[in-house]
């Protein structure tokens, strides 16, 4: 039906098209692989950042717990010292408490002009 030259041209064109498609597919595959590798690297980097942030937050939390524990111990120690001073000098402690109460009462009941 077609001439030999036409069939040869068609086969040649088909071969060239196949070659171009294979070449384009290889380039595309390479670009997709590169994009996947870059995405995996980015995810790994992001995971490392998240892990570093979590570690820092945990360390800060531990330090804050230690500070609060230390403050609680100091508050208990100070309360014991105050209690022992009150027991040692009950009259003076009562007068000091009365004076502080009067000063605070005066400050709190003061009315603006």
Q: pLDDT for 10-68, tens place per residue?
A: 878 888 888 888 898 888 888 888 888 888 888 888 888 888 899 999 999 999 999 99
Q: Is the CB of residue 2 less than 8 Å from the CB of residue 10?
A: yes
* 86: Cβ contacts below 8 Å, ≥ 6 apart: 93
Domain ranges of the chain: 4-109
What is the C-alpha to C-alpha distance for residues 75 and 69, in angstroms, rounded to an integer?
A: 10
**Predicted local confidence at residue 88, as pLDDT:** 92
Q: What are phi and psi of 43, to 5 degrees?
A: -65, -40
- Per-residue pLDDT at 1 exceeds 70: no
The pair of structure tokens assigned to 3 is 């001439």
Q: What confidence score (pLDDT) does residue 65 get?
A: 93
Cα dihedral 4, 6, 12, 17 in deg (nearest 10): -150
**pTM of the model as a whole:** 0.45
User: What is the C-alpha to C-alpha distance for residues 90 and 82, in angstroms, rounded to an integer?
Assistant: 11
């Amino acid at each position: 039906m077609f001439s030999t030259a036409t069939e040869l041209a068609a086969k040649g064109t088909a071969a060239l098209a196949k070659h171009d498609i294979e070449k384009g597919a290889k380039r595309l595959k390479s670009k997709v692989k590169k994009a996947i590798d870059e995405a995996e690297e980015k995810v790994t980097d992001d995971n490392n950042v998240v892990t570093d942030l979590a570690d820092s937050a945990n360390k800060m939390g531990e330090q804050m717990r230690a500070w609060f524990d230390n403050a609680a111990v100091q508050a208990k120690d100070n309360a014991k010292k105050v209690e022992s001073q009150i027991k040692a000098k009950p009259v003076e402690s009562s007068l000091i408490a009365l004076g502080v109460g009067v000063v605070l009462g005066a400050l709190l009941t003061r009315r603006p002009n």
